[in-house]
């Protein structure tokens, strides 16, 4: 099969690219490298440096069909940043996505897979979140993803574009073979920051908020291994067929921010300095997924069930590449692309 991947040089996109290539598929990646890394895209994939908002470029790429699907990862994706820059988030996450959806319709692409998010939910009653739970984003980031989900709904109703909206809960971990990992500059995610702290690359870690309605007062998140997440993309393409689908993707188990610190200390065998800090704007207290629908309809099951096994892979990658992708050399044939 042949896929067009936006944001394939990013954390989740690069793991999906690896999985598609491993399965023998053909992949074309468009990425502006704003938060991604050229080294994250293997030479077996075609890499195009460019911005999604360049509609002429995207039109040109899609003209070179036929395609079996588009996977759209490229976005701004930081909850806290979106609370400071709401219009930038709404504009940059929604406008290029609308153009891409229109082009997918025009070029008759049979499947559109969209990176949606748990940030669609406020979850005020701290329940397990299913696809039928009420959506109520706590941040402009979550709102921007909801807008794109709605655009995809209308693209299906009016034009028959079939899509999969995959609502990832918290992606974590690294490729078990060590070929890709998480490297954001600057890093804002809890697990990589805590790993950098335990490895002595940061003096200490702030945990945002100890007054949430949870057992230890810190937020609870559902961490799903990035390779399990990648597998869900292949499963979703298989499920699309004659209809559009929406799936929540997590492990169904929540870990508090404090438990994340404890897991990293346990797995690494080292202690880290951390302290409580004020709440971070835009954070719901508890986000835990029910992925029962995805499991029932596609047979998907996570291979990494508990946080320690997820953390092990993230720690292994961080130890192998202490400066992230800056420590990874660009393969010779990729450098010329």
Ligand X SMILES: O=c1ccn([C@@H]2O[C@H](COP(=O)(O)OP(=O)(O)O[C@H]3O[C@H](CO)[C@H](O)[C@H](O)[C@H]3O)[C@@H](O)[C@H]2O)c(=O)[nH]1
Ligand Y SMILES: NC(=O)c1ccc[n+]([C@@H]2O[C@H](COP(=O)([O-])OP(=O)(O)OC[C@H]3O[C@@H](n4cnc5c(N)ncnc54)[C@H](O)[C@@H]3O)[C@@H](O)[C@H]2O)c1
Q: Is 280 in the site for ligand X (CB under 6 A)?
A: yes
Q: Does the footprint of ligand X cover residue 118 (CB under 6 A)?
A: yes
Q: Which does 164 bind (CB under 5 to 8 A by kind): ligand X, ligand Y, none?
A: none
Residue 30 phi, psi dihedral angles, 5° rounding: -115, 125
Which of 11, 89, 141, 168 does the annotation list as catalytic?
141
Site for ligand X in 72-101 (CB under 6 A): 77, 79
**Length of the chain counted residue by residue:** 337
Q: Pick from 245, 254, 236: which is nearest to 3 by CA?
A: 236
d(CA 241, CA 95): 27
Q: Is 132 in the site for ligand X (CB under 6 A)?
A: no
Question: Does residue number 58 form part of the binding site for ligand X (CB under 6 A)?
Answer: no
- Provide the minimum distance between the beta carbon of 105 and ligand X in the complex, in angstroms, as a whole number: 26
Q: Which of 34, 188, 273, 327 binds ligand X (CB under 6 A)?
A: 188
- Helix (H), strand (E), coil (C) string for 138-163: CCHHHHHHHHHHHHHHHHHHHHCCCE
Residue 46 binds: one of ligand Y, ligand X, none (C-beta under 5 to 8 A by kind): none
CB of 29 to ligand Y, least distance (A): 9
First to last CA, the chain: 22
d(CA 153, CA 20): 26
Provide the pairing of β-strand 255-256 with 69-72: unpaired
Q: Which two tokens stand for residue 309?
A: 């096994």
Asked about 321 being catalytic, the answer comes back as no
Q: Is residue 223 at the binding interface for ligand X, with CB under 6 A as the rule?
A: no
If contact means CB under 5 to 8 A according to the sort of partner, which of ligand X, ligand Y, none does residue 12 touch?
ligand Y
CB-wise, 18 or 191, nearer to ligand X? 191
* Shortest Å, Cβ 74 to ligand Y: 3
Tokens of 172: 């974590």
Q: Which stretch binds ligand X (CB under 6 A): 16-24, 54-62, 111-119, 262-270?
A: 111-119
Cα pseudo-dihedral 98, 292, 301, 144, rounded to 10? 20
| Cβ atoms of 295 and 251 closer than 8 Å | no
15 makes contact with ligand X (CB under 6 A): no
Cβ closest to ligand Y, residue 184 vs residue 253 = 184
Q: Is 161 in contact with 104 (CB distance < 8 Å)?
A: yes
Strand spans (E) along the chain: 2-6, 26-31, 46-49, 69-72, 112-117, 128-129, 163-168, 170-172, 205-208, 220-221, 223-225, 245-249, 255-256, 274-277, 286-289
Task: Give the CA dihedral 173, 179, 182, 183, nearest 10 degrees.
Answer: 160
174 is a contact residue toward ligand X (CB under 6 A):
no
Residue 128 CB, nearest distance to ligand X (Å)? 14
| 163 makes contact with ligand X (CB under 6 A) | no
Positions that interact with ligand Y (CB under 6 A) = 6-7, 9-13, 30-36, 51-53, 73-75, 77, 96, 115, 117, 168, 170-171, 184
- State which residue, 114 or 169, has the beta carbon closest to ligand X: 169
Does position 202 interact with ligand X (CB under 6 A)? The reply is no
73 binding partner (options ligand X, ligand Y, none; Cβ < 5 to 8 Å by kind): ligand Y
Q: Judged by CB, which is closer to ligand X: 107, or 145?
A: 145
138 binds ligand X (CB under 6 A): no
Residues 6+ apart with CB under 8 A from 105: 155, 159, 161
Residues forming the active site: 141
Residue ranges binding ligand X (CB under 6 A): 77, 79, 117-119, 169-170, 188-190, 193, 205-208, 219, 221, 257, 280, 283, 287
């Amino acid at each position: 099969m042949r896929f067009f991947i936006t944001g394939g040089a990013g954390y989740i996109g690069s793991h999906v690219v690896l999985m598609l290539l491993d399965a023998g598929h053909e992949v074309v990646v468009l990425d502006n490298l704003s938060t991604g890394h050229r080294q994250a895209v293997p030479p077996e994939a075609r890499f195009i440096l460019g911005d999604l908002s360049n509609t002429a470029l995207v039109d040109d790429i899609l003209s070179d069909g036929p395609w079996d699907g588009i996977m759209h990862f490229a976005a701004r994706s930081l909850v806290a940043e979106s609370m400071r820059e709401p219009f930038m988030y709404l504009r940059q996450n929604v406008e290029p996505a609308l153009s891409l959806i229109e082009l997918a319709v025009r070029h008759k692409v049979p499947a559109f897979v969209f990176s949606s998010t748990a940030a669609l939910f406020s979850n005020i009653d701290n329940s397990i979140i299913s696809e039928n739970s009420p959506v109520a984003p706590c941040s402009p980031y979550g709102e921007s993803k909801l807008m794109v989900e709605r655009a995809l709904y209308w693209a299906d109703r009016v034009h028959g574009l079939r899509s999969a909206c995959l609502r990832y809960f918290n992606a974590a971990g690294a490729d078990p073979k060590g070929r890709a990992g998480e490297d954001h500059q600057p890093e804002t995610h809890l697990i990589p920051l805590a790993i950098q702290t335990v490895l002595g690359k940061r003096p200490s870690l702030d945990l945002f908020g100890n007054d949430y309605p949870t057992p230890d007062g810190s937020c609870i998140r559902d961490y799903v291994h990035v390779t399990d997440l990648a597998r869900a993309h292949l499963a979703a393409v298989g499920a699309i067929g004659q209809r559009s689908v929406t799936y929540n993707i997590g492990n169904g188990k929540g870990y508090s921010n404090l438990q994340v610190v404890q897991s990293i200390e346990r797995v690494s065998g080292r202690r880290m300095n951390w302290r409580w800090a004020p709440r971070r704007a835009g954070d719901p207290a508890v986000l835990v997924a029910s992925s029962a629908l995805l499991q029932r309809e596609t047979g998907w099951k996570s291979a990494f069930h508990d946080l320690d096994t997820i953390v092990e892979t993230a720690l292994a990658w961080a130890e192998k590449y202490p400066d992230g992708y800056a420590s990874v050399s660009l393969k010779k044939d990729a450098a010329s692309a």
